[in-house]
Amino acid sequence: FWFLCGFDAEQDLVGSLASMSSNERIKAIQKMPETMRKKREIRNKVLKEITKKSRHRGAQCTQRARGVLFRRFGNALSEFFQQMQPWHKTLKIIGAEFGTSVLSYFVFLKWLLNFNIFSFLINCGFITIPQFLAGEPNNLSFTGLELLTGAGYFEQTVLYYGFYTNATISKVENGPSYNMQLAYIFTVGTYFVICFLILLVSMARFFSRNFVNSQAFSVKASKLLCTWDFNITNEKAVKLQQKNLLTQIKERLTEVNKEVVNFSVKERVVRIATHLLAWVLSLASAVAACTGVYFLSDNNLKLFMKGYSNDLQRQAAMLVLPVIVSLLNTLIPFFFSWLGHLEKFQTPGQHIYVTIIRNIILKMSIVGILCYYWLNSVATSESQCWETLVGQDIYRLVLVDFLFCLLGSFFGEFLRRIIGTTVCMSLGLPEFDIGRNVLDLIYAQTLTWIGILFSPLLPGIQMIAFLIVFFVKKVSLMRNCQPPRKVWRTAQMTTSFILLLFCPSFLGVLSVIGVTIWRLKPSEECGPFRGLPSMYASVDEWIQTLESYTVSKWVVWIYHNLISSELFFFIISTVVLIVIYLYWQIIQARKTMSKLIRNQIIN
């Protein structure tokens, strides 16, 4: 015990001496009432302790240096990938030059582009590649017209539903097999479930940011005092940041300093009459367009099934429906924009939202007419593979709509700039039409969702189209358009875009896909579901097979008691509604508390 106490005391002494400076340590050792031999032992122990500590500190410094290097490498890698993205710098320039209203369109376009990349990877990985490896060579000749019509050579490729086999794919004898029926229906079903969740999460995130916690992202004194990034040293980056900050401050000041215009009774009556007339004209044009599409689609199948003397006439007949539909979808929105200018809304936001509502009525009505035509006329026709016919129709609609979108940029913006700067100087440069362009994106994405079941590679085609549209619109915006005359802040714009994409677009697509899978009879001679009463019957057959295996009893139980049970979905829906109601009440309480705290700060 005494030995241990003495050892601890000596260790404490060595530790205290090691922490002293060199001069203090020498004086302290000299003053000790010990022999010279003992003093030398203590000094040697102190030097060893100092050496040990210095090594430990060196190791710590090395670890810290490595951590700093790894962090710097990670930041540099992140910045490199950001710079590699084609839209990274573009979005900053657009936000600085044209404000958040125009920027919201390009952010939405980028979001849809990423969405289609994800769709393409899922379909290609689980449906297309297995069929491509097991498929037979294509003996049809390629003429080049197929790129425009989607027919001919492409009919015998993985582009369309009819080429996919209903057999179990196995490249090695007695090896693992791949059930194409289950892969097809489960991939499509899982994809739509993931899309549903992504849209819900995106809406919740944007709603929370722009409606619930909008004060946390508001532009007030913090924009002036705390926003500047002092790491910026490049002169171009500094000017771009200045423009961006200036635009945001202008938008915030416009929102704060809103002027309430008081109209006389006569002016109010005139404005109400103008709005009513504009709505009557817009609805009448939408009804007329839908009526024309209905009768044209009714005759389209007859034209397609009719025999032609040469292939050129047949190809031209295929393009009648998509060209007329795309022409209506391009010209009528210009008419809606003109009506909006006549109505003279007080804010640009009102003009954009009204234009969006009119366009969504037009485009979704046309899509509804086309879906009715596909599910009632084409699906009950005498064609050997009606699913491939639907896939070809959607392919042509997507492609022709993309071409008309590019032509719309040329005629709607480029020629308008020429006219406004040379012929009629009073018109000036055009402004970027957000409502029309956003609805073009939603319409194109709706067609892509419908076509996934009939043409699994359609998201890849739409991905390329969106990428080209991004750069064409960017160049057209920079060269032909001017910033909005009235600066205004659009915090809720992206939320509204995703909400419109969810409803009516995505929910309408789910109903079409549901009817196709559960109600319609697949073709007898093509596709993975040939010979079945419905596409969903493949799942029933798979469950019946699993019932004979004891290991898979839990899958059968889940299917019968959860997936195919209406009571389960009713309970889930009720729980979801209760949770939504509780969260809504929590949000209201937090907003009330935020107002009270803000008033306390003001007081």
pLDDT tens for each residue of 37-63: 777 788 888 888 777 776 666 555 566
Residue 167 banded pLDDT, cuts 50, 70, 90: confident
Backbone torsions φ then ψ of 492, nearest 5 degrees: -95, 5
Residue 319 or 443, more confident: 443
| DSSP sequence for 40-96 | HHHHHHHHHHHHHHHHHHHHHHHHHHHHHHHHHHHHHHHHHHHHHSTTHHHHHHHHH
- Residues 436 and 333 sit within 8 Å (Cβ to Cβ): yes
pLDDT at position 489 over 50: yes
Q: What torsion do the CA atoms of 442, 443, 449, 451 make, to the nearest 10 degrees?
A: -160
In this predicted structure, what is the pLDDT of residue 347?
A: 75
Specify the pTM.
Answer: 0.79
Listed by start position, the domains of the chain span: 4-54, 84-152+176-249+386-531
pLDDT tens for each residue of 501-534: 888 889 999 999 999 999 999 998 888 999 899 9
Residue 450 banded pLDDT, cuts 50, 70, 90: very high
In this predicted structure, what is the pLDDT of residue 120?
A: 93
pLDDT at position 4 over 50: no
Report, as an integer, the average pLDDT of 444-471: 93
* 587 three-class SS: helix
Task: List, as own/partner pairs, every contact residues 240-243 make where C-beta atoms lie below 8 angstroms and the sequence separation is at least 24, other chains included.
Answer: 240/92, 240/93, 240/96, 241/96, 243/96, 243/97
Residue 39 or 313, more confident: 39
Give how far Cα 444 sits from Cα of 105, 235, 420, 440, Å.
14, 40, 30, 6
Rounded Cα distance between 513 and 511, Å, is 6
Residue 446 banded pLDDT, cuts 50, 70, 90: very high
Residue 443 banded pLDDT, cuts 50, 70, 90: very high
Measure the N-to-C terminal CA separation of the chain; round to a whole number of Å.
69
Residue 309 banded pLDDT, cuts 50, 70, 90: low
Residue 394 or 59, more confident: 394
**Element containing residue 32 per DSSP (H, E):** none
In this predicted structure, what is the pLDDT of residue 584?
A: 82
pLDDT tens for each residue of 536-569: 988 888 888 888 887 888 888 888 887 777 888 8
pLDDT at position 228 over 80: no
In this predicted structure, what is the pLDDT of residue 1?
A: 37
In this predicted structure, what is the pLDDT of residue 428?
A: 78
pLDDT at position 5 over 50: no
* Largest separation between any pair of C-alpha atoms in the chain: 122
| Range 474-493 burial, b when 16+ CB lie within 10 A, else e | bebbeebbebbeebbbbbbb
Residue 317 or 456, more confident: 456
In this predicted structure, what is the pLDDT of residue 165?
A: 87
| Range 168-190 burial, b when 16+ CB lie within 10 A, else e | ebeeeeeeeebbbbebbbbbbee
